[in-house]
Amino acid sequence: MVASDQDFQRKRRLRKGAREVLEPRMEDNMKFAVVEDSVEYRLFLIPDKAGEPEEHTETLQKYIERIMTHFASILVPYIWQNQPFNLKFIPGKGGVPAHMYGMTKFGDNIEDEWFIVYVIKQITKKFPELVARIEDNDGEFLLIEAADFLPKWLDPDNSANRVFFYHGELCIIPVPQKSEAASWIPTTTPTILQALSIIPAHPEEVLASESVRAAVNRRIRGYPEKIQGSLHRAHCFLPAGIVAILKQRPRLVAAGVQAFYLRDPIDLRACRVFKTFLPETRVMTSVTFTKCLYAQLVQQRFVPDRRSGYGLPPPSHPQYRAHELGMKLAHGFEILCSKCSPHFSESRKSLVTTSPLWASFLESLKKNDYFKGLLEGSTQYQERLEMAKNYFQLSVHRPESSLAMSPGEEILTVLQTLLFDVEELKKEEANLPPEDDDQWLELSPEQLDQLLQEAVGEKESQPVAKKEKQSCDLTQVSESMKAFISKVSTHKGAELPRDPSEAPITFDVDSFLNYFDKILGPKPHESESDDLEEEDFECLDSDDDLDLETQEPGSLKGTLDNLKSYMAQMDQELAHTSIGKSFTTRKQVSKETPSQTANNNSDEDSGADDCAVTPVDVDLNLVSNILESYSSQAGLAGPASNLLQSMGVQLPDNTDDRPPSKPVED
């Protein structure tokens, strides 16, 4: 991994931690609003002619309607964690032309963000005259995802206004590498207007490399079919009012789960005695969650207030999970309703059908076969129609934030107009679809390894049994470390070799000794002092002293002798300590005669000249220490495994610590 890639990797690791100051993203120091766990996207129309601002407004508004209508079949039924995909018109300002803008807060469900990436990619493919730009509060997260494959020149400092989607492909505007670079390549950070003129004029030159595009495409692979795989259906014992609401507006399950998941003691005061969703009206029903929402609800440990009336059966009861899920979800809905007054302003009840865009939007839905041939007026037709109205209000005809209804107000509004029969809902209990298996909540170590391999782009995962039988060549460990040490490192990080056989960089011994000559001094008697004088360091600041050609030839030999003298003194001091016992040494083949050996044994304390220092086996010590560190990780991530995996070395699992089946006899 190159040093610039590590900057993007560092941002990936800090996604949930402290945020860095955002780099300028738009011209004239215009910055996106920083919202935690949110993604922002902008769609620009390629400038082909100069027009009036009124024409731009009308044109972009029509594009918003066409986009939202064309993709309604996948956007309407989608259950968002917090906010849906949306677009609105933004007038031009400064050097930024008029465009379509949207912002979605995805919260804990990162899949919402990547689904939006898929949608943006498809929009630019369907409408080739559009250029899209997308980033989140971490910055260029597409580059973070493809950090292992980025060119060395690309880093967070020069990536502003360079990454776009065009014709359904990822494009990166390059920087000039040589003085004779093409004239169309901007020498400074490109403006939005420059980018919009460069991309359609040079589509092949700005196309991102195949490996970068593959990294991004791998993350969004499987959509839109992947949406169904992200859902989980479970039985819940819920009040009839919530059952009726979720039938008409299934997306509100996300607001209910979030309200319960993020509850505080003040919220729970409203749940001591339920006023909106009484426990006596509970019925068994099937609720569709996203896997993220289901996991958030299941993993929460909660005991309801005795005064609430939401008692739970014993854990051994076959429907205990359904009762528990229903109790938690009911608390979430009650919290939402408690945060708004039942007499909220009628002006905030926005009627969708009064919008002039609704008629054309509905007609476009019919042309795109949104209703799937359902009979107009039927129950399923009405359910899809209500979903379309809700989608239109949230994503197309969005009111100002001061007039938009909160989820609690929306729930109370639906309850006031919705008619339902509790007895009819109880009859439906016998025909509920089966629950989905939730074994995906539990991951074995083998499954986790496979997911990690898929995340880093492994083409094929070897069977676990085959991996356990594989032997590891320990010489690869030492060779990889040697290759790593020989690589260049800067203040931005070090380069990690993928192949241990890569040739190391060259080492200029003469220059190295000349620098030591500057530090130690050319005269032997000056180098014998324990401390270096201040002048020896000050000489490094002079450009004249750094001219290696002016050094006297005799000074090199003196420097080397002084260095050997220092090494001998250190060996003599360490010979009388126990530090040598911590290293594994080579077996030294003695060529001395028996009399010489006896003489040396009698004089072993006479000095460093009479001490035979056994050389240390560097490779053996290196491998032993790395294996010891790997073993202490106990199968978890750690410095040894991270370093070796980054260099392409895979160590097998440690099975030496397992207790023997039979006691070992002496």
Pairing of β 163-166 and β 493-494 = unpaired
Across residues 383-408, what is the average pLDDT? 71
- 3-state SS class at 295: helix
At residue 49, the pLDDT reads 52
> 73: pLDDT confidence band, cut at 50, 70 and 90?
confident
Task: Provide the H-helix boundaries in 420-505.
Answer: 422-427, 445-455, 464-469, 474-485
At residue 41, the pLDDT reads 97
Across residues 639-657, what is the average pLDDT? 73
User: Cβ distance 437 to 231 under 8 Å?
Assistant: no
Largest CA distance in the chain: 112
> 491: pLDDT confidence band, cut at 50, 70 and 90?
low
Residue 200 vs residue 396, higher pLDDT: 200
At residue 376, the pLDDT reads 85
The residues, any chain, with a CB within 8 Å of residue 67's CB and separated by 6 or more, are 43, 87, 100, 123, 127
- Closest C-alpha among 305, 246, 318 to residue 279: 305
Element (H, E) at 236: strand 231-239
What amino acid is encoded at 529 in this protein?
S
Residue 345 vs residues 385, 400, 416: alpha-carbon distances, Å: 25, 15, 14
What does residue 239 show for φ and ψ, rounded to 5 degrees? -60, 150
> 23: pLDDT confidence band, cut at 50, 70 and 90?
very low
Supply the DSSP string of 332-347, one letter for each residue: HHHHHHHTS-TT--GG
> 512: pLDDT confidence band, cut at 50, 70 and 90?
low
Crossing angle between the packed helical segments 252-261 and 320-338, to the nearest 10 degrees = 90
pLDDT at 464 over 70: no
Across residues 124-128, what is the average pLDDT? 95
pLDDT at 461 over 60: no
> 539: pLDDT confidence band, cut at 50, 70 and 90?
very low
At residue 433, the pLDDT reads 94
> 354: pLDDT confidence band, cut at 50, 70 and 90?
low
- Closest C-alpha among 198, 45, 209 to residue 132: 45
User: Cβ distance 116 to 85 under 8 Å?
Assistant: yes
Residue 105 vs residue 356, higher pLDDT: 105
Residue 570 vs residues 152, 523, 556, 608, 636: alpha-carbon distances, Å: 42, 21, 21, 10, 39
At residue 226, the pLDDT reads 92
> 605: pLDDT confidence band, cut at 50, 70 and 90?
very low
CB atoms near residue 518 (< 10 Å): 20
At residue 215, the pLDDT reads 93
Residue 478 vs residue 185, higher pLDDT: 185
- Tell me the two tokens of residue 354: 């009064």
Across residues 209-230, what is the average pLDDT? 93
- 3-state SS class at 113: helix
pLDDT at 116 over 80: yes
At residue 506, the pLDDT reads 54
- 3-state SS class at 311: coil
What does residue 96 show for φ and ψ, rounded to 5 degrees? -100, 120
Report pLDDT digits (tens) over 571-601. 888 878 877 777 777 654 344 445 544 454 4
Mean pLDDT of the chain: 77
Residue 450 vs residues 457, 465, 638: alpha-carbon distances, Å: 11, 13, 18
Percent of the chain with pLDDT over 70: 70
At residue 568, the pLDDT reads 86
Please count the CA atoms within 13 angstroms of the CA of 596 that sit on its side-chain side.
Answer: 7
Min mean pLDDT across 95-109, 188-202, 382-396 is at 382-396
At residue 310, the pLDDT reads 93
> 268: pLDDT confidence band, cut at 50, 70 and 90?
very high
- Tell me the two tokens of residue 241: 């009012």
pLDDT at 153 over 60: yes
> 199: pLDDT confidence band, cut at 50, 70 and 90?
very high
Report pLDDT digits (tens) over 306-330. 999 999 999 999 999 999 999 999 9
